[in-house]
Amino acid sequence: MSALLQQFISEAQDLIEQAGAALLEAEREPNDKEPIDELFRAMHTLKGSSGLLDVPPFTMLVHAGEDLLVSVREGRQQLQASDLDLLLDCCDVLAEWISGLEDDGELPDSAAGVSKEKSSALRARIVDSGAAAPAAAEPAKPAGPGFAVVGAGLSADVIAAARAAAGDAPLVAIRYQPDEQCYFRGEDPVRIWRDTPGLVGWTLAQRDAPSEKAEFDPHLCKLVLSGLSTAGQVELENAFRYVIDDVDFADMPADGAAPAGASDQPPAQPADDTAPAAEGARPQARPTKSLGPNAVPDRTELFLDLLDGQLSVLDACESDDTLTPGRIDSVEQLLLNNAGEGGALAAHAQTIKQAFDSYRSQLELDPLRLAMEKLVQSLRQNGLPGKEAAEIPAAEKKEAKASNGKPAQKSRVLKVDEAKIDVLVNLISEFSVAKNALPFLARRAEEQYGLRELSRELKDQFTVVDRLASEMQSAIMSVRLLPVSTIFERFPRLVRDVSRKLGKSIELKLLREDTEADKSIIEALGDPLIHLVRNSLDHGIEPPDDRVDAGKPETATLTIEAQQESDQLIILVKDDGRGINPEKVKSKAVERGVITAEEAAEMDDQTAVNLVFRAGFSTADQVSDLSGRGVGMDAVRSQIQKAGGSVVLESAVGIGTTVRLSLPLSMAVTRVMTFGVCGALFGVPMEQVLETVRVATEDLVSIKESEAFLLRDQLVPVRRLSRLLDLEEEDGAHDQSLPVLVVRTNNGPVGLVVDSFRERVDTILKPLDGVLSGANIYSGAALMGDGSVLLVLNPRSLI
């Protein structure tokens, strides 16, 4: 797959997701313009980037979507509920195509047909501008900007030469300012310009040229072409028909006077790289799209951030560094750029100049830093002068725009193939193991060769390497962290669709979506969460009428909340529905043979409602007769357990149900309790260990064939690990007391008799492969510091 396609796929996935979220937002807040703008931006970008690839159905569909949104943005129409449905539908189709592209490298065969159908459906909804906006709205176009504006880019010389060349023929001034993104649509303005009919004189200029060479982006078109032609406007319009929005025409007055712009301001040839003539000549033509009217405070913030950036540059300067003078100069230049007339720092021009001048005479950095800090502080307190948004010069404008839009993201977020991170994880884990060989080496140096001094130095070095390794490990692990919002974001759509279908009114609250956890954990959460949410929607939450009868608000609330508790990620799925009736669950469980009638009689309500997680409890047919929960709850539990987590349900009849999932934040590093059995070393993941006890042999009670002991009044069954693993027992290993490891299983605590307890280790568990991969009594294997292999048991399958 080409790099371009790959990038497009990952970008498109993000954009389609954004569009989906914006659509839902637009539905909630019909009067808010922001979601529409966002939606438009997403469609627009999709159109642009898909145009680079050979996916015409895709481009056609997003183009239709964009056109509809343009009409909405221009106020010609409002998005109706059915429009939103259609757009959502289109997003689904797009997402489907993208995954098709990812898998097969091409769109499905049906794409062209689907695109045609959906595009025409979308287009059918566009209120025709001609019909809806009568002639009154049009006059702007025929009048257009006058010659003074269009011809502003032409110098007197060019005009004179053109006059001479044209003779008596009337001249039309053309100004062609291609859209920045035009290369991405396959446009080549120079080629269009070359074919301009009747061109007798022309010039080109750049606009918004960056001050730093490194910032120049050759993929953004920043040219303005101005010219004079003897061809008529109609002919010219035809020549520029594909880019007509980017072109202005104006008849040149017959008297041949230079354009007003050229006579009362410096000649059109821009005096410097920032080309103010071209920009200034077209004040209203191209409002910055990404900045709404309420963006001003953000821009203040951005500007202050920019200044902060300069401060940190100053902070980083060392007096004896050869780079310092250059850095200082560039900071000064930036500040002074903003200190010109009307600039954001105009009031401080003097201060800035003085500070830098005194630095140059004394070469003392501290006073300069102090002065600049003061300046930033006072700006922070007092804000920027009134119209700062309009005053920030072009270079900063670009900066501000970049921070609001896509390009900045590009530079800050690095998309890395997961496999590469996994390589890092593997390397660091092997490194952690390898470094553990150092203490062994140190011991050998001392004991075998009598080199105490060397041994001590080795140990010193080891502490350094150890610290670095653990820092490196946490740094690498943090790369794999994802916010839970990555799975939460699918729920607004799910809840909307399901609640509509069921005729229920449900408000979804997503709380603390920014909580982060390892990617593998986040991924493991996806399916179980969908199950839980669906269950709540289907069965937990009552129909509106029932809710009103029960005295509850008609709109139900479903809350999905994430939180971090020490090293656990907790997800709560909470509804205020009808709750689960423990008695019903009990009778169902007895009926299904999950528990006996005696057990049911003794069972408290909390334990009873958790019976829904038991295998064998849930089958599809009881969905409707039980108060809801049922389908796949044991699947939920097993998936969560597989990821090393646990799940608990709490419910109160008539009030609601809460399911609490808890998972480790990271799966990569597992704490393992190690112990010896029959001369071999084994381990059990720490989260499954309840406690370690020594049990006197006489305290063991035999019940039929099995053994048990009393642990704080609770009868705990005991198993001999040596027998479970079929190992040869050493004679007389346990005379008086047995070391017992009490572990958590699905059926309550179980004691495992081992030979001795060993230390607790942090390891990276590797799943077993080859012939052992089917042996599910092991969770995996880990390398120990001395190079030996530790087998880690999975007590749940073992017992």
Which residues of this chain interact with other proteins, rule CB under 8 A? 178, 183, 188-191, 194, 202-206, 209, 213-214, 216, 218-219, 221-223, 269-270, 273
CB of 183 to other proteins, least distance (A): 5
716, two tokens: 């705990």
Other beta carbons within 10 angstroms of residue 526's beta carbon come to 13
Q: What is the CA radius of gyration of the chain?
A: 36
CB of 213 to other proteins, least distance (A): 6
Nearer to other proteins, 192 or 665 (CB): 192
Q: What is the DSSP letter of 642?
A: H
Asked if residue 191 lies in contact with residue 241, where contact means CB atoms within 8 angstroms, the answer is: no
715, two tokens: 């009868």
Give the integer Cα–Cα distance in Å for 667 and 690: 19
CB of 129 to other proteins, least distance (A): 30
CB of 242 to other proteins, least distance (A): 14
Nearer to other proteins, 223 or 477 (CB): 223
Nearer to other proteins, 8 or 778 (CB): 8
Give the integer Cα–Cα distance in Å for 19 and 39: 5
Nearer to other proteins, 191 or 412 (CB): 191
What amino acid occupies position 472?
M
Nearer to other proteins, 70 or 204 (CB): 204
Categorise residue 678: left if φ over 0, alpha if ψ from -120 to 50, beta otherwise: left
CB of 6 to other proteins, least distance (A): 16
Nearer to other proteins, 4 or 464 (CB): 4
Q: What is the DSSP letter of 169?
A: S
Q: Name the residue among 637, 610, 665 with its Cα closest to residue 528.
A: 637
Q: Name the residue among 406, 412, 411, 410 with its Cα closest to residue 290.
A: 406
Nearer to other proteins, 141 or 194 (CB): 194
Q: Name the residue among 662, 645, 609, 636 with its Cα closest to residue 534.
A: 636
Give the integer Cα–Cα distance in Å for 206 and 173: 18
Q: Indicate the helix (H) or strand (E) that contains 6.
A: helix 3-28
Q: Name the residue among 198, 203, 201 with its Cα closest to residue 223.
A: 203
CB of 259 to other proteins, least distance (A): 18
Nearer to other proteins, 194 or 704 (CB): 194
Nearer to other proteins, 266 or 292 (CB): 266
CB of 189 to other proteins, least distance (A): 5
CB of 73 to other proteins, least distance (A): 28
Q: Indicate the helix (H) or strand (E) that contains 716.
A: strand 714-720
CB of 410 to other proteins, least distance (A): 14
Nearer to other proteins, 215 or 497 (CB): 215
Give the integer Cα–Cα distance in Å for 65 and 125: 10
CB of 178 to other proteins, least distance (A): 7
Asked if residue 578 lies in contact with residue 540, where contact means CB atoms within 8 angstroms, the answer is: yes
Other beta carbons within 10 angstroms of residue 405's beta carbon come to 16
CB of 194 to other proteins, least distance (A): 5
348, two tokens: 């401080």
Nearer to other proteins, 267 or 393 (CB): 267
Q: Name the residue among 446, 493, 649 with its Cα closest to residue 92.
A: 493
Give the integer Cα–Cα distance in Å for 450 and 439: 15
CB of 406 to other proteins, least distance (A): 18
Nearer to other proteins, 206 or 563 (CB): 206
Q: Name the residue among 713, 721, 604, 634 with its Cα closest to residue 674.
A: 721
Report the greatest alpha carbon distance in the chain: 122
Give the integer Cα–Cα distance in Å for 652 and 633: 18
CB of 11 to other proteins, least distance (A): 18
Give the integer Cα–Cα distance in Å for 44 and 275: 28
Nearer to other proteins, 270 or 644 (CB): 270
Q: Name the residue among 637, 659, 668 with its Cα closest to residue 745.
A: 637
In three-state secondary structure terms, 519 is helix
Nearer to other proteins, 269 or 557 (CB): 269
CB of 202 to other proteins, least distance (A): 8
Q: Indicate the helix (H) or strand (E) that contains 172.
A: strand 172-176
